[in-house]
Amino acid sequence: DVLAVLNWDAKAKPDHEIAFRPARVLLQDFTGVPAVVDLAVMRDAIKDLGGDPDKINPLLPADLVIDHSVQVDKFGTPTAFSENAEIEIARNRERYVFLRWGQKAFENFRVVPPDTGIVHQVNLEYLAQVAFTKETADGTEVYPDSLVGT
């Protein structure tokens, strides 16, 4: 793949596919909740077939940022943010309990709680890394941060 990139000719007809495997996955709550449901259902199916459900996990590190639940009920006061946060948690309790379970149940999966910030800001300020490392049979591999997101 490295040679294919080095010898790439923009005018030539493509004759080589280069696989891309990102370092991580970034999810918003609207798309991340269904993904966690899918993982949970896969675990149930594997268990029903006699397999080990604990083997069902995201293959890549995945972060889910809860950022689409905010509604403004209170405003214009010093306590508006905390009051809105409390109302949000009460409204979405079942979903948050489920996501907390998912974070504990699955390897390679983290949940950023509500009222932390929007997904892009949280990614840049807290989740993004310059480089990742992975131990392999040949030694330590270092590769740049890359992601797919929703």
d(CA 127, CA 121): 9
pLDDT per position as a tens digit, 96-122: 999 999 999 999 999 999 888 899 999
Residues 119, 38, 60, CA angle at the centre, nearest 5°?
55
Tell me the whole-structure pTM to 2 decimals: 0.83
d(CA 96, CA 135): 34
In this prediction, residue 14 carries a pLDDT of: 85
Q: Is 107 exposed, middle or buried (0-12, 13-18, 19+ CB in 10 A)?
A: exposed
Q: What sign has the CA pseudo-torsion 88, 89, 93, 95?
A: positive
β-pairing verdict for 62-65 and 109-112: parallel
Full set of structural domains in the chain with CATH: 24-149 (3.30.499.10)
Other CB atoms within 10 Å distance of the CB of residue 108: 13
Mean pLDDT of the 14-30 span: 90
pLDDT per position as a tens digit, 39-75: 999 999 999 999 999 999 999 999 999 987 778 999 9
d(CA 85, CA 15): 53
Phi and psi, residue 132, nearest 5°? -115, 160
pLDDT at position 124 over 80:
yes
